[in-house]
Structure 1
Amino acid sequence: MTMFKNGGGRSAIVWCIFVLPLPAFLILAYFLPMMGILSWSFTDPVPGLQNYARIAEDQTIHLLFWRTLRICLTTAVISVLVAYLLAYHWILGPPARQRLIEMAILIPFWISVLVRAFGWLILLRPKGLINENLIALGIITEPLAMVRNEIGVVIGMVHFMVPMAVFPIAAVMRQIDPRVIQAARGLGAGSVRRFIEVFLPLSMPGVIGALFIVAVFSLGFFITPAILGGGRVVMVAENIFVRMLQTANWGLGSALAAVLLVLVVGLIWILSRIVRLDRLL
């Protein structure tokens, strides 16, 4: 009994030291502030559901959400297409190509989103490097409008999201048994047919997972749309910032944050019902 009690006491100490800090941190840093924000959506400026009623009735807010969803969907599709190509060569390419792609995937994680956004602003602005070079080569006569619009926002978001989309796709590709591809080859299937009928269907869980992951992250984008959109392409996250910190409309800003949170949780739930999340790791 003494050994059992001592063992139980040591387990409790280990649990308190190594396990308890994480949930405690999550509660203090995320759960309690989130509950406070949700309470503002029901109590500011007066108790009730008026903030959610305004979201349901205000056409401007509807356009804001549709713009956000459109940009997120465009970003997700383009990011996954580029990420699939990178993941394919990263997993199946020769060693030299694998190392090059690995560097291209990992190095962007070392650069802050703010630096990336300003870098794209320098490249895409009317007197930026891209427009000046295109004009010098005679390809265009007037600068292309690539900033302060959705084009610039999508370019910046895709650049940020492609590395994140690569990992779930690559994780699924690594789990594909090479013997299946060899069997298809032995049955006479050409390279294109092997890819379309065998490899692509087997890698689809990674594609679907990457689409949802990119969409979830894109819903909360703030810095990139604010810089490359120039105030003309306002997404939900930027609108929440403006309402809460510039116009002091805490109630409506909190209600918008709550709706955005419900969208994110809904997307994650749908992803968990379609794809086994452990396959994306």
Structure 2
Amino acid sequence: MIAEFFRPDGRHLSKAGITLLMLPFFALIFFAFLYPLVSLLSISVLEPQPTLENYRKVVDNPIYLTVLLRTLWIALLVSLLSLALAFPVAWLMARSKGPKVAFITACILLPFWSSVLVRTAAWAVLLQRHGLINEGLQLIGITSEPVRLLYTQGAVVVAMTHVLMPFMVLPIYGALRNIPADYARAAAICGANPLRTFREVYLPLTMPGIIGGFILVFLTSLGYFITPALLGSPQEMMIATLISQQIREYLDWPFAAALVGVLTLFVTVITLAFSKVFRFDRMMGGAA
């Protein structure tokens, strides 16, 4: 019986063996993600009666469209800022060895040891009216009185970037680590300066890590809740906060489910667009 799950050489699993090992994973995906999502989306079109009125309400009301567009804009800003900050860190990690790379890696992974709530609360302390940042700005003479930093879009973007940047650093670092050092030496022998070597050698080979990190940060930002809820104002509301408001304050589950459906549609379309435009196998030199 066990032999059926192995190939004739006895060392590699057959398709049946691989399928059997994957069953717990697929069961987890179904019961923890697909089933709850489908059940929630069914509420948006079946309660209190079969209708698309909840989705029509999302499209017709400019307030909800504004919240959705703001969510996309903030997610894009966070992704771009994370990329700008993460690439130099990943580059330094890939060029370091020994205790130095261990120290940088610890600094990147250290935030994972504390909850998002704690990190967001720390930013609230820093950005408050009499917080460390305002006190510092007044001390060096940039401002004469406290500046409104908390409950702004800038506060949300900065705090979300701090929380999500490790998800950008690690894929880029993995891509940089896989580039042989001989490529840079070969480019130098051919007369390429460091800037051209980076543009024509490192950047194309790092693109899978950049795109993977960008997608991960962008899609995570779309559904972020804790940081916008604590650091943003009602004027800076994002779609996750709006969904929570509809459930907790108005008990409007069908409309909240419709918002979830719209967000799911956007995430699916964006993911498919990325997978269509950026072919990872081609960028890695594989077959088309």
TM over 0.5: yes
C-alpha separation between the residues in 2 aligned to 1:79 and 1:243? 30
Partner of 1:78: 81
2:102 corresponds, among 96, 99, 122, to: 99
SS in 1 for 2:234: coil
Give the deviation of 1:171 after TM superposition: 1.7
| Root-mean-square deviation over aligned CA pairs | 2.5
SS in 2 for 1:146: coil
Distance 1:234 1:183, change over 3 A: same
Residue deviations 1:259-279 (CA, integer Å, cap 9, x gap): 111212222223333142897
Give the length in aligned residue pairs: 275
Give the deviation of 1:197 after TM superposition: 3.0
Is structure 2 residue 192 aligned with structure 1 residue 208?
Answer: no
Where does the alignment leave 5 or more consecutive residues of structure 1 unmatched? none
1:26 corresponds, among 11, 25, 29, to: 29
Residue deviations 1:218-247 (CA, integer Å, cap 9, x gap): 001000000010433210011011112220
The residue type paired with residue 136 of structure 2 is N
Distance 1:207 1:22, change over 3 A: closer
C-alpha separation between the residues in 2 aligned to 1:19 and 1:196? 40
Is structure 2 residue 278 aligned with structure 1 residue 247?
Answer: no
Residue deviations 1:97-133 (CA, integer Å, cap 9, x gap): 3222211111011111000000000001111111112
Is structure 2 residue 280 aligned with structure 1 residue 276?
Answer: yes
C-alpha separation between the residues in 2 aligned to 1:148 and 1:167? 30
2:130 corresponds, among 117, 127, 130, to: 127
Is structure 2 residue 261 aligned with structure 1 residue 258?
Answer: yes
Give the deviation of 1:207 after TM superposition: 1.6
SS in 2 for 1:71: helix
Residue deviations 1:41-84 (CA, integer Å, cap 9, x gap): 10223321111111121111110111001100000000011111
Is structure 2 residue 67 aligned with structure 1 residue 67?
Answer: no
The residue type paired with residue 276 of structure 1 is F
Structure 1 segments of 4 or more deviating over 6 A?
14-17
Q: Is the 8 A contact 1:134 1:140 kept in 2?
A: yes
Distance 1:93 1:19, change over 3 A: closer
Where does the alignment leave 5 or more consecutive residues of structure 2 unmatched? 7-13
Give the deviation of 1:31 after TM superposition: 1.9
The residue type paired with residue 248 of structure 1 is L
Distance 1:159 1:254, change over 3 A: same
C-alpha separation between the residues in 1 aligned to 2:49 and 2:22? 40
Q: TM-score, normalised by structure 1?
A: 0.89
Give the deviation of 1:16 after TM superposition: 10
SS in 2 for 1:232: helix
Partner of 1:88: 91
User: Percent identity between the aligned chains?
Assistant: 34
C-alpha separation between the residues in 1 aligned to 2:117 and 2:151? 16
Distance 1:179 1:135, change over 3 A: same
